[in-house]
Structures are given as structure tokens and as C-alpha cells.
A = this chain, B = another copy of it.
Amino acid sequence: MSDAPAGGPDRQPIWSRPERGSRGPAPAHSRDAIVVAAITLADTEGLAAVSMRAVAAALGTGAGSLYRYLSSRDDLLDLMTDRAVGELRPYPQVEGDWLETMVLLGRRQLALFGAHPWLLELIHRPSGIGPQSLAWFDNCIRILEPVRCPVAAKFEAIAMMTGVVSLFARRESPAGAFSFAGVDLAAYPHLVAAFSQPSGPAPRADLVERTLRSLLTGLLLGESTEAG
């Protein structure tokens, strides 16, 4: 009972837990090195390949040793998320139109999802709000300062923007069209009719930005219209 791992009695979240105590030999690794190894693994082989054993092996050690630095795999995923969100920095210091600045931030998020597709599986977790995510929120609130609307609406809008960007990012991942192998198409007449008609022009390339603009103006400025 006198020998508890770093997580030990982990009453408090990982963000406010010291990396190491003052006594004992110098650690062979570091929290950040573990997170970097995990992110590299996730980038190359997918999130499912990020097992404690695999991450430890990438660092040349055993799975159990990681628990000297974090208290659970969930902690590791939280750290991965926050570190990736940190890649959104530095934030553009545009002081002009807040809407265009937000759209720019949205494009940055989209690029981040492209660089780290595993983020799509992690951002929706209830935990995992670390310092970098807070800094990103803080920056968005700063940009939205000239907007006159309740704070709650701003938070809604920021969260919804992130969500919509993640939806677009998912669309661009290699998921691809479903296969109709062994499906009785006769049951879906409107679907086959739609597919059999000429496909028409390709969707516009700036769909994300247009959607974000419409979404943000609707959520932040449209509060007083259409009484009911």
C-alpha cells in the first residue's frame, strides 16, 4: 500500500498530477514521450493499434511500466487528444471580421482531423478536456467578443462548429460508398431512381466554409428573428 503508481489514488485528473515525485531514481521515460509514441502509432496504424503493450514496446519497455506515468489508458487517450489539439497553435491573430476568423479556425480543425484521423474517435468523449482544449476555447471566446449574444450561445456555436467540422472530416475519410452486395434493391425505389439519374455537377468545393458561415450566423445572430 505504500507503493502506489503515479496514478495512485487518482482523485484528480491527469492534468493536475505531477509527472514525478522528488525521491527515487530518474525516470527512463516521460509522459510526453509516451504520448508522442502513442500518437505516432495512431497516425500510422490507427487508434485500435494503440494498446498499452504496443506503446510500451515502441518505447522499449513493458506495458506495466507505463502506469508509472499515467493511471489508465483513458488518461493516455486524453493526453493524445490534448496534444493534438495543441497543434492548432499558433492561433491566427486576425483582428478583422470575427466570422471569417472563425471559418479560418474551422479550416484549421479540418486539417487537424486530416492529419490525425483517430481524433474523430476521441473528441466526443466526455473526458479529455485538457489545457490545450481550454486554450482553444479561450481563443474562440476572444474572437467572439464583439458578438452581442449570451455566453451560452457562444459555447453552443463553438461546440457545434467543431462538431460540423468533424462531420465533414469524416466524410473525407476513406469510408466510401456502401456496397449493395446481396441487397434487394426493389425495396428502395426512390434510391434506385436517384442513382439512375445523371449525377449532375459535383458538389462545390467550399461546402465546409459555406456551411460554417451559415451555421455560425444562424446560431449567433439569428436569436431575435422569427418570434414563436
Interface residues of A in 108-167 (CB under 8 A from B): 120, 124, 126, 129, 131, 134-135, 137-139, 141-142, 145, 149-154, 156, 159-160, 163-164, 167
Q: Are A152 and B200 neighbours in the complex by a CB distance under 8 Å?
A: yes
Interface residues of A in 1-24 (CB under 8 A from B): 12-13, 15-16
**Other-chain contact of A191, B134, B183, B219 (Cβ < 8 Å):** B134
A182 interface hit (Cβ, 8 Å): yes
Please, which residues of chain B bring their CB within 8 A of the CB of A150? 199-203
A196 to B87, CA, bound (A): 29
Please, which residues of chain B bring their CB within 8 A of the CB of A16? 181-183
Copies, count: 2
A108 to B194, CA, bound (A): 24
Please, which residues of chain B bring their CB within 8 A of the CB of A170? 124, 163
Looking at the assembled complex, report how far the CB atom of A198 sits from the nearest CB atom of chain B, in whole angstroms: 9
Q: How large is the interface on A (under 10, 10 to 19, 20 to 34, 35 or more residues)?
A: 35 or more
Which label, helix, strand, loop or mixed, suits the secondary structure of the A interface?
Answer: helix
A139 to B191, CA, bound (A): 8
A163 to B202, CA, bound (A): 21
A199 to B16, CA, bound (A): 28
Q: Are A182 and B12 neighbours in the complex by a CB distance under 8 Å?
A: yes
Given contacts A182-B15, A183-B131, contact A194 B164 (CB under 8 A): no
Please, which residues of chain B bring their CB within 8 A of the CB of A200? 149-153
Q: Are B223 and A151 neighbours in the complex by a CB distance under 8 Å?
A: no
A28 interface hit (Cβ, 8 Å): no
